[in-house]
Structure 1
Amino acid sequence: MANITLGGNPVHTSGNLPQVGSKAPEAILVKTDLSKMSVSDLQGKKVLMNIFPSVNTGVCSKSVRQFNQEAAELDNTVVVCISRDLPFAQQQFCAAEGIENVEMLSDYIAGAFGKSYGLEMTDGIFEALHSRCVIVLDTDGTVRYTEQVPEIGEEPNYKAALEALMDG
């Protein structure tokens, strides 16, 4: 379990992020067109998972815009933004912001992704939402980098995540 904060108040997660060097846990997520996608469907490309509580908050939306601009231009790379927002909200956000280079994925049905990756918040005002994390996978689906952002209101380390993508 990770100990993080939200506005300085302690919050706990359901576990710990997958270990670097381990295979990414399997989970089914929902795309904005309501079709389903599994984590294993992403194999063959480098993957940057930008995970957050809700796309409708300032820091979360900024991370989507930042990774849309920077990481999406890398070869053989896909950026997936994962939250428990409904796919309709994710699609609306992307349309309004002109976001075209990331794949929005929702874990709204049962939160299985958040649970299997150990990043679901188990208390606090965002209980059951995802904590802010970045996970980078190589083309074989092996975890190459993780970041559990210690304060939900802070941005991830974009530079470290992008360097992990380029090294992978």
Structure 2
Amino acid sequence: MATVTLGGEVVNLAGDELSIGDMAPVVELVGRDLASVKVGGSSDFIQVIASVPSLDTGVCATETRKFNQNVANLSDVKLTVVSMDLPFAMGRFCSTEGIDNVEVGSDFRSKEFAKKYGVLIEDGKLKGLTARAIFVIGKDGAIIHKEIVSEITQEPNYDAIKKVVGGGCGCGGCGCH
């Protein structure tokens, strides 16, 4: 498992460790409207799954806003932000922030996503939440990019994501960072 820290303190992750080339597990999450949100597996889109501890933190909110501003330009990419936040809180965040290009999904019921993707924080102050991570899944369902952010209070590597989703994302300079 990847070494992850929170403010310099090591936290352990639980669940299955996935690698590039592995098939992304299909997981059902709860959307902001309580409807089912499916991530993983094969799709008509490239899937970018961003797991965050909570949308109610500065870094997570900034990351989600950046993705929302830039994902609209990507016609064959579907981005989902996953956290343990309650669907109502996710809905309120999206409404307040004008988030309409990003799907949000809560893993609060079963923690199935966190376990199957190996991002469940099992100790420390954020025990029970999801670590900050990015999974990019090709249309065939295989993981083509993975980043477990080593320091939870840091944003992911947007440049690496852009390269994977279409050679710089193909939108003419989306400014994902």
TM-score (norm 2): 0.90
Runs of 4+ residues over 4 Å off in structure 1: none
Give me the whole-angstrom Cα distance separating, in 1, the residues matched to 2:50 and 2:103: 10
Shift of 1:11: 0.4
**Greater fraction helix:** 1
Residue of structure 2 equivalent to 1:62: 62
Give me the whole-angstrom Cα distance separating, in 2, the residues matched to 1:135 and 1:54: 17
Residue of structure 1 equivalent to 2:115: 115
Give me the whole-angstrom Cα distance separating, in 2, the residues matched to 1:44 and 1:4: 32
1:11-90 matches, cutoff 5 A: 11-15=11-15, 17-40=17-40, 43-90=43-90
Where does the alignment leave 5 or more consecutive residues of structure 1 unmatched? none
Where does the alignment leave 5 or more consecutive residues of structure 2 unmatched? 170-177
Identity of aligned residues (%): 38
Give me the whole-angstrom Cα distance separating, in 1, the residues matched to 2:21 and 2:71: 21
Give the count of matched residue pairs: 168
Distance of aligned partners of 1:54 and 1:42 in 2 relative to their CA distance in 1, 3 Å threshold: farther
TM-score (norm 1): 0.94
8 Å CA contact retained: 2:82, 2:105: yes
Q: Which amino acid aligns with 1:83?
A: S
Shift of 1:49: 0.7
Shift of 1:140: 1.6
Residue of structure 1 equivalent to 2:99: 99
